Structure 1
Amino acid sequence: MTRPEQPGKPGDPSEPAYADRVYRSPLAMVGGALLLGIGLWMGGDALFRGDGRAPWTAAAALLLGVPLVVAFTFRPAVFANDDRMRIRNPFRTVVVPWAAVESLRAVYTTEVVTRGGAKYQLWAVPVSMRQRKLKVRSGGKVLVGAESTLQELRTLVEQNAVRPTAKGEPESRWAYEVIAPALAGLVALTALLATG
């Protein structure tokens, strides 16, 4: 699934000429919305109507659970433009310039392999085992969802790897905005359960 973002200024060589293509799993986002709804309903009920230690336990569980649900359902995305691919996984963001990409493949997970040998999973592009079995039965004639996305990304690699602005080394950054609250919730929940 693609969704355009704001393009760079025309003629600016440091910015891509076109908006980013965005790849996400819509089913993961629907599942995340359902999990958040159920969790907030149950946690909110315990938080506002519970007695004793229940409100504190509910608050700690929400502090742990909400960031994790967001991290695994809403956060994963792959952004691709003329120069690079930005992979946003649950706990890490990786930027891979097109010239650094050696291959893109989908076996049990979808991953990009860099020229340096590093492998990064694309959480936003899930591999369906059912669709893969269907492809094997049809003799490879059926193009499965992850592979159609990978075909688009491979085309971007072929077209853009020679661009001067598509060169460089992969960069990785941890998602502390997800890790810190989840860790705080885990510590609080563990302390409450251990002393209760």
Structure 2
Amino acid sequence: MTSPTPPAEPAYADRTFRSVPGLVSGALLILLVGWIGGDAVFRGNGWVPWQALAALLALVPLIVAFTLRPAVFAGEERIHIRNPFRTIVLPWTDVADVRASYSSEVFTQDGRKYQLWAVPVSLRERKRAARKAGQAAHDDPYGRTSAHVDVRDTHARVAAADQAVGDLRELAERAARRTEPGTTTASVRWAFEVIAPAVVGAVLFVVLFAIG
């Protein structure tokens, strides 16, 4: 008796793009806000504890939205973009281009544009990478390369945002060469799990501040 044949592995699994500085700064901000707000809750008098709780309810979701939440998941059939207040899912067939100028952006076939918050563009990093590439060209003006080229050094000559955009373009091109139709449909959803508590907290803070 033969065992059942396992399902074929996808050509490439989902790739995740996130901003490490954003994650670190978000965690630090939450700790700072939590420490200040907690101190006001436990030591404050009158309406101060309630105002602090309302402020925490408004601020923490916003910090999460702009630092911890942004991510880009690129798979075989689609790109999943998680921005601060929206989640966008696009099949690769709907993607016309991926660019990184002053920000990283995805352009669709019908002219829509979505920013990739998880792939921030650093002009300073781009200039540093350009200097390294220029130095490498100066050291090897005829394009001669050693058999022991360090791949990490090659990647260091490209800014992180440009490298990520290049990877996304490659995934889009590979998906475009497939002949079979995909099953993913485009969708845009507002992140009410972030928006609702931030709005409620802001309203409560204004009301408590007015009556306090």
Structure 1 regions of 5+ residues with no counterpart?
1-8
> How far off is 1:48 after superposition?
1.5
Deviating beyond 6 angstroms after TM superposition, the runs of 4 or more aligned structure 1 residues are: none
The alignment's TM-score, normalised by the length of structure 1, stands at 0.86
Amino acid in the other structure paired with 2:158: L
Q: Which residue of 2 aligns with 1:104?
A: 98
RMSD over equivalenced CA pairs, Å: 2.2
Q: In terms of mean alpha carbon deviation, does 58-67 or 184-193 score higher?
A: 184-193
> How far off is 1:94 after superposition?
0.2
User: Higher RCO, 1 or 2 (CA under 8 Å, sep at least 6)?
Assistant: 2
Compared with structure 1, are the counterparts of its residues 73 and 165 closer, same or farther at alpha carbon in structure 2 (3 Å cutoff)?
farther
Which residue of 121, 128, 151 maps to 2:166?
Answer: 151
> How far off is 1:100 after superposition?
0.9
Maintained 8 Å contact 2:130/2:158: no
How far apart in 2 are the matches of 1:195 and 1:165?
60
Structure 2 regions of 5+ residues with no counterpart?
1-5, 138-156
Which residue of 150, 158, 161 maps to 2:176?
Answer: 161
Which residue of 7, 12, 15 maps to 1:10?
Answer: 7
Q: Which residue of 1 aligns with 2:190?
A: 174
Compared with structure 1, are the counterparts of its residues 127 and 23 closer, same or farther at alpha carbon in structure 2 (3 Å cutoff)?
same
Q: Which residue of 2 aligns with 1:53?
A: 47
- Partner deviation per Cα, 1:75-122 (whole Å, 9 max, x = no partner): 000001100000000000000111111111111110000001000000
Maintained 8 Å contact 1:77/1:87: yes
The alignment's TM-score, normalised by the length of structure 2, stands at 0.80
Amino acid in the other structure paired with 2:207: A
- Partner deviation per Cα, 1:125-182 (whole Å, 9 max, x = no partner): 000011233456656x831110101111100001012433447653100000000000
- Partner deviation per Cα, 1:26-76 (whole Å, 9 max, x = no partner): 111110110000111111111122111110100000000110011111100
**Which structure has the larger Rg over C-alpha atoms?**
2
Q: In terms of mean alpha carbon deviation, does 25-34 or 155-164 score higher?
A: 155-164
Amino acid in the other structure paired with 1:180: A
User: Counterparts in 2 of 1:5-154, with a 5 A limit?
Assistant: 10-11=7-8, 16=10, 18-134=12-128, 142-154=157-169
